[in-house]
Structure 1
Amino acid sequence: MNQNFPFDHFLKATFDQNNSNIFNNKETVETTKQVAATDTNEEFFSTEELNLINDEIHNTLKSLINVQKYNAFFNNALSLTNITLDSLEFSVPSNLIKSMVEKNSEQIGEAVRNALGKEYNIVINVSEQAGPTGFTSNIDRRAQDYTTNKPKSARDVSFTLDLNQSKNDLLTKVESVYIDHMNPEQPGMIIDPVKTFDNFVVGPSNNLANAAAIAIAKNPGKDGKYPSLYIYSNSGLGKTHLLHAVANGIKENYPHFVICLITARDFMKEMIDAMKDKKLHEFQKKYSEKVDVLMIDDIHELKNKESTQNEFFHVFNELYNKGKQLIFTSDKAPHQIDGIEERIKTRLQWGLVVDIQKPDLETRIAILKRKAYELDLYVTDDIITLVACHIKNSIRELEGSLVKLSAFSEMMKVDIDAEMVKEILMIKDIDTDKKITLEQIGKITAQHFKIHLADLKSKSRTKDIAHARFIAMYLSRKILNATQEEIGIFYGGRDHSSVVHAEKTIVKRLETDMSLSKDVIAIETKL
């Protein structure tokens, strides 16, 4: 290292503040000015030293940036090449990676401050060399074959591709957009104004949870119907969306209320920090005296955390006794969570406990149409149905499929058609010979309720048989769009008015009857 290097500009942040003062005298300042006036191209650091600083910066970046994003755009791609008096210069292999890296300038700045102890201007240069070894797109190579062999549409004729962006670059960017959607970065749980009841698609699988959430937003706490609400479901089915929707609704109707929306992990971390700093009393006071609405996402994360459970127990009791609003989400019902004390399981069940099921086909189609509208993306009904038929388990994955298709279409300048959808989403061809019939709906419904199909077609009006018959008629209208006359003839020659009555009865009950919703979804899934 050059002996005239101005050390005061590159002190580690971990140095003691008092020790750093020895560099602030007049002699050091004059030396700094002299160095600044010399040739700016002089290399202050050797290659080995630059590599050490680069490693230090990357160690910090790993903790600040989403893992998938770091591996895609930073690891083996962002390299420190030079340090001047006020700037750090990095190189990246392409313009695409440069644009993605620059979106995380705050995180890079923080990593630099951690490594060198002060602010620097960050300069990102595109290297003329090829990209780092092994840096390839995560998208299936069949998608690349598709874009190579697909005939060009009219709008492609005038398109000029940026020569600095290879096809791998574009495909990587598509994957990045998808990753951001599937793994949204949430520093804490700031209430998202975008997640409201208006853009929450309601269907048989979530109507009860949605109705309860709306009721709470209108009248929270002891004066409302549900001072305690517990929502559980598999990941990606809308629990967190409902939490934010409730928070936004309460903010609008009761702007003076103090709302605390937090994950179970952040709650635990906050308590541990309070214990370390000997401020546990302040932690307890915050939750028991200042909060009007407490929402904890993924409450099951408290399992096997005895100290945190103990604090949560007292917070719950305080707020519940004061008539405050409590809302919790989890991936399991309270009694199914292992590692949670029985006294806490009991309290979590004091209020309304409701689950969200996988959305049925009709709801999945509605979700995709709304997402396409939000993305300003034109997709035909056939493609919407194709996607909805093959992605059944997660709303986040369902919406993510459209995000990926939209990004792919935009980057590659190709129209969205069935062939492209099958390639990008790796969907197998549908068996076109498989057709749902009145007979199939009747058989699956009869099997679900463990009765004979002949009973559904009989004149019997016993409660169990009539209930199953009503559901079969409803599904025949919903799935096949069969006429009332056709359905009536199939089920024992009944009049079309009987079918109309069955359909209306089921539609009305689905608004509030969660057990019925589960039966309908289970039968539909088998079909």
Structure 2
Amino acid sequence: MLDYTNKTAESVWTRCLQFIKDNIDEQAFKTWFEPIVAIELTTENALYIQVPSKFFYEWLEEHYVKILKSALIKELGHNARLLYKIRMENTQGNKQPFTEQLPSSQREPVKTQELDVPIQTKNPEIKNPFVIPGIRNVKIESQLNSNYSFDNFLEGESNRLGRSAGMAVANKPGGTAFNPLMIYGGVGLGKTHLAHAIGVEIKDKHPDKTVLYISAEVFTQQYVDSVRKQTRNDFIYFYQLIDILIVDDIQFLSGKSGTQDVFFHIFNYLHQNGKQVILTSDKAPVDMQDIEQRLLSRFKWGLSAEIQHPDFETRVNILKNILYRDGVEMPQEVIEYVAKSIKSNIRELEGAIISLIAQSSFNKREITLELAKSVVDKFVKNVKREISIDYIQKVVSDYFKLDLDTLRSKSRKRNIVQARQLAMFFAKKYTKASLANIGSQIGDRDHATVLHACKTVDNLLETDKQFKAFFEDINNKLSI
């Protein structure tokens, strides 16, 4: 039987830490082991340690279970057990998110995953990343723009699914099958407007709910700051308080493994506790690159609703809504002309009508069809031309002196394959089309083929000077 005469929880844990410190890097040790406090060593050969959060506990289990096992066996023998006490942080109301019993694990005989009576912290201060440092304030502002509402988000065939799902979520946040709700589509089609509208509607119908809108870029910067300032746990605690989390442009997390990891755990916590997550992206989950598979699988749990380019009828209604908002009258034929001329996105549509109103006002000219043609013609020339997949294929096939059927064929000849891969690469670079759409238009390929083509082009640009010359010539033609 183990002799406990000179052993205490603190002494055992101190020796464990010495062993662990010798086997991992310094920063990891400071982040994941220095905050741990030894609580109790029982006569049953069990060591209780206190960790700051459930997230902290899950991270240890996922990444450091082997070294914990080795350290504890070294000190207490093979029948040792490691148990966790998770410190509770007070949250709004009576919510106590860390009081549930953690499931027992049979994977490692050295430990069991269980939770005793949680230790309440006295007068906890939640650090709000949206508040100026030094100012104590735990109130969470929604960061929503009240000008973006359902009232001025016009419904059409292009956005009906997203709008309907958004209304359902607003009525019952966290209580529908649309969790998460992913809204995706090209630039300027109204994704951000719809995301704000859902949040604004929830605030109106459920004033007790904590709603937060944030761009993925700001979220990433906050996370980086929290790591630099060693306030990572505070960052996580803050986001666990949110009832409805709205993250705009989630594709910005691409390639950022640390931010993806922390978002994964925040997402899991919110979802498991019935909180609502709303995401926007410029592409469907299946087309996202450099996003961890476990995170992409979460994005697919709920509903992915695409917002497409608005049809003519919707564009007319959008223009009429803008004119009504600004108190301006305009002939129907002018409205229809602008709607037919500007098809790419809503921002450009609004920009064109504002330019027309400005020309009429400054030059004291009546708004006529002739004035509209003049203004729209200049406006379209000043807006970056949207290149089509068909145009890209024509430029590439002309450059390599191939016909379009050959470019799209199943041929495996090296020159034809490289031409096809370049066409796919430039289609991804210059269009808003999904990988699946690009593949279907260039030889009826799938999205995986397009993704492989893009990676191949990137590799050849670094290793093949002749190929790089081809690439630059075609790129110059497309950039004109």
TM-score by length of 1: 0.44
